Amino acid sequence: METLWVIINVLVLILLVGILYWMQKKHYSFTKRVFAGLGLGVLFGVALQLIYTSTSDVVVKSTDWFNLIGYGYVRLLQMMVIPLIMVSIISAIMKLKGGRNVGKMSGLIITVLLLTTAVAAAVGITTALAFDLSAVNIQGGAAEEQQGALLQERLGDVEGRTLPQQILDFIPSNPFADMTGARRTSTIAVVIFSAFIGIAVLGLDRKNKEQAETFRNMISAVYGVVMRIVTLVLRLTPYGILALMAKTIATTDLQVIMNLIDFVLASYVALIVMFIIHLVLLAIFGFNPLKYVKKVFPTLTFAFTSRSSAATIPLNVQTQNKKLGVSEGIANLSASFGATIGQNGCAGIYPAMLAVMIAPTAGVDPTSWSFILTLIVVVMISSFGVAGVGGGATFASLIVLSTMNLPVALAGLLISVEPLIDMGRTALNVNDSMTAGVITGKVMNEVDKDVFNDDNIELDLVQG
């Protein structure tokens, strides 16, 4: 009987996929199909919760099949990250008049990412204190204790690493290994390698123009093919969001969330406050916040459901370039840097909140200015090289807590609500990278305001 119910659930998902496919054939806009996928996924997930409960074997086996669409889509996006970064950055740099702009672009993007991370840390600290959060009051079970022990073991991988050592990890020693994602800093290493290729082509222009032109034509052809593949993959976004959201809602244990509701609420209050700060920054630089939100919402929706900043890079780049009017070079750099540097949610708010919660257990006063200012600086510096995939926040927390001489095992107490909070954190991370791209584009006069202000522009993903 159980197998029959699993088959029925899978057939229902296929039916919902069929509805989205019908919408595509009827030329509904990409944004409308994304929202439809989100809404259908939520409704289907709620129905599964009410009928079977989140921990039932039927839901577990059903969502295992849902993963073929949901995480299959995420893997296809991850497949495109490295090729997209490489050809886009090489192509963008080759179009520059000189290599100096590359350094200025990178410097501005990283500055925005780090400064907003410092602000995010302050928001996290303030929120944790306002909600009076403390690890002393949280009771953990066997799973929480196991996670705490695991964090203690992982501490050895990051403890004692200095800032120069962390920065050194960005420099590629084997770019081909980094193309496989062998290290947590592989994305940045590929960006640096690609930048060197682009700058080398600019130098080759002066030495051997014919060779440079041959390489340009080759990259141009590869770029065209890669962007076509990206378009084909991104067209699957509504289906991926449908399956991801259905699984997320169906497998969420509401009782566990209620046990840690204060932390969940505090986390989302901090995330929303930081998102508003992003919008204020955009307004200061002359951009309409409401128009911005409308254009980026599908991208943030995918980031929310996938919980992967790295997987969101292709959609992030396309959104910045095609809908916000940011130049290709800046869009690629900000999306790539933002996936591993200065993540406001995972590397800013979350570690700061944990530090404030855990400090009393170590006899430290979290309200003292010396603790608060030190924590903000530590969070900002530690935000270098945080992987843009699930688990990045945990890694960032390990660095911050160990640097502040706080016990890391207590962070395991929050494992049960980690996925729920991680969705919001990832969306904020991606939004910060897009904010950095738009601001940098404005400063360098590389934003097409006509594109930004055009409400009718859609990603070219409507037709089959």
The residue assigned the tokens 């955009």 is: 282
* Residue 81 placed within a domain: yes
In this prediction, residue 344 carries a pLDDT of 92
Along the chain (464 residues), what's the average pLDDT of each consecutive run of 10 residues? 89 95 88 87 91 87 92 85 82 67 84 94 94 70 48 53 71 86 77 87 86 90 87 87 88 74 90 97 95 92 82 87 89 84 88 89 88 91 64 71 76 69 90 95 91 76 46
Domain CATH number, residue 138: 1.10.3860.10
Residue 464 lies in a domain: no
- Domain of 403, in residue numbers: 2-453
Both tokens of residue 297? Answer: 């919402």
- The CA-CA-CA angle for residues 393, 394, 396, to 5°, reads 65
Give residue 77's pLDDT.
80
For 442, other C-beta atoms within 10 Å of its C-beta total 19
**CA separation for the pair 457, 390 (Å, rounded):** 32
Report if residue 344 sits inside a domain: yes
Q: Is residue 459 part of a domain?
A: no
CB 426 within 8 A of CB 345: yes
The token duo for 21 is: 């496919």
Packing angle of the helix pair 369-382, 392-403 (nearest 10 deg): 140
pLDDT at 148: 47
In a domain, 203, yes or no: yes
Structural domain total, the chain: 1
Backbone angles phi, psi at 407, to 5 degrees: -65, 130
pLDDT (0 to 100) of residue 464:
42
Q: Residue 341 in 3-state DSSP?
A: strand
Residue 460 inside a domain? The answer is no
462 belongs to a structural domain: no
pLDDT computed for residue 69 by the predictor: 93
Nearest-5° Cα angle at 238, 234 to 243 = 115
Angle, in degrees to the nearest 10, between helices 100-130 and 261-284: 140
Residue 463 forms part of a structural domain: no
pLDDT of residue 387: 54
- Inter-axis angle of helices 328-338 and 186-207, to 10 degrees? 150
Q: What's the pLDDT at 284?
A: 96
